Amino acid sequence: MQFNRNLLVRKLDPPQTWNPMVENYLRATGFYHVSRIGVIRGFHLMLAALVERWRPETHTFVLLIGEVTVTLEDVAHIFGLLPIDGEPVSGWTDSSSEFVQSQGIVIFGREPSVSGNAKSYIKLGWVRRIRDAEPLDTDESIRRYVRCHIFCLLGSTLFTDKSTAYAHAKYLPLLRDFERIHTYSWGSACLAHLYRALCRASRYDTKEMDGLLNLLYVWAWERMLCLAPVPRQTGARNCNHSLAIPHN
């Protein structure tokens, strides 16, 4: 295993913005606090150090003091009220154009704009444009806006892959029934996605890592204070402050 790798971090989209008129609807789905999370950039050396200590067999980091890992408790603490129990985030994956178009009409109200290389991937830029064009004058319009917003969060923040410009259409069926969105264990799925990203990054020939890095960074800073950045205004002497994403 190489110990001098400098893993590259996929560039994430800027923090999502949304119309305050939909706040109550967003809270009802459990995605309100996640929508307020910003993007953490850099820290490549810390990321590489963590990946080198990751063991896919046990899904833990092997340190001198023992084995540690990110848990569902950490997900609940960092991501606020994102559900960590409930129905599993699972379903079928249909890459046909008929499936994408039919699901897109239900969720977005029109046929989606897809990737030219992979028809099952929907352009997030297009989703944001139709979201922002919603008049928000009816209950259905507000719900369509929130569905678009959550879909963008899933593709650009929570379940990122090699492209943060597109999101897979497999998430669309989970957003059809607005009343059931909060019943899925999205937090468990996020944790599983992070584990898989760490397992892939731990391979000797991997040069890039995607996945839920916000969760990993804040977990490391909260659990290992010696790794946390020191705020400039406090100076290097006050090293007991950890930097975490604000949440209520």
- For residue 67, the surrounding DSSP H or E stretch is strand 66-68
Residue 11 pLDDT? 45
Alpha helix positions (H), the chain:
23-29, 32-35, 44-52, 72-78, 97-108, 124-132, 139-153, 186-201, 213-223
Residues 217, 40: Cα–Cα separation, whole Å: 8
The full set of domain ranges for the chain reads 39-88+184-229
Residue 117 pLDDT? 67
Distance from the Cα of residue 127 to its chain's centroid: 17
Q: What is the pLDDT along the chain (248 residues), one digit of tens a residue?
A: 444 455 555 444 455 688 999 999 999 999 999 888 877 777 788 889 999 999 999 999 999 989 999 999 999 999 888 999 999 999 777 778 888 889 999 999 998 988 766 678 899 999 999 999 999 999 999 999 999 999 999 988 899 876 778 898 999 999 999 999 999 999 999 999 999 999 999 998 887 887 788 899 989 998 988 887 766 554 444 444 333 344 44
Residue 1 pLDDT? 41
Please answer whether residues 186 and 162 qualify as being in contact, where contact means their C-beta atoms are separated by less than 8 angstroms: no
Closest CA to 120 of 128, 130, 112: 112
Long-range contact list for 134-137, CB < 8 A, 24+ apart?
A: 136/19, 136/21, 136/22
Task: Write out the two tokens for 46.
Answer: 């810390």
Residue 49 pLDDT? 92
Residue 14 pLDDT? 53
Question: Side chain identity at 45, as an amino acid letter?
Answer: L
pTM, two decimal places: 0.83
